[in-house]
Amino acid sequence: MRKIVWVSLLSLVGLYGACCAALYAVMLQPPERFGAFMTHVPNTIAFAVLPFETLWMPARAGSLKVGDPAPDFELPTLDHSRTVKLSAEYRSKPVALIFGSYT
């Protein structure tokens, strides 16, 4: 009887570890693939059972360090009249990137 309990417990621990590893691997994917995967995972499992936030921070930390140049990107203006490319703006004047909420 004890052997069955230990085998069951080790199986559950192994399954939990495999689920955590799979979630971490999916978090390393581009946002579109991550979002497509997470639409199939119930919130209860993702946030209550698995260590979502603990895995999220190192998976999405990135590799930029203080002083590194920002990667080039292109975004539409607020009124969608044109697009702005970071490298084009940076050539003509200094650029400050501010990340946050204005609400």
Which structure tokens are listed for 22?
A: 């799979």
Does residue 98 lie in a domain region?
no
Residue 102's pLDDT is 67
Cα–Cα distance, 65 to 85 (Å, whole number): 22
Q: Give the structural domain span for 11.
A: 2-59
Residue 83's pLDDT is 94
Does residue 88 lie in a domain region?
no
Torsional class of 80: left (φ above 0), alpha (ψ -120 to 50), beta (otherwise): left
Task: For the chain, report the end-to-end CA distance as a whole number of angstroms.
Answer: 59
Residues (pLDDT < 70) of the chain are 101-103
Question: Does pTM surpass 0.75?
Answer: no
pLDDT in tens, 8-19: 999 999 999 999
- Total domains present in the chain: 1
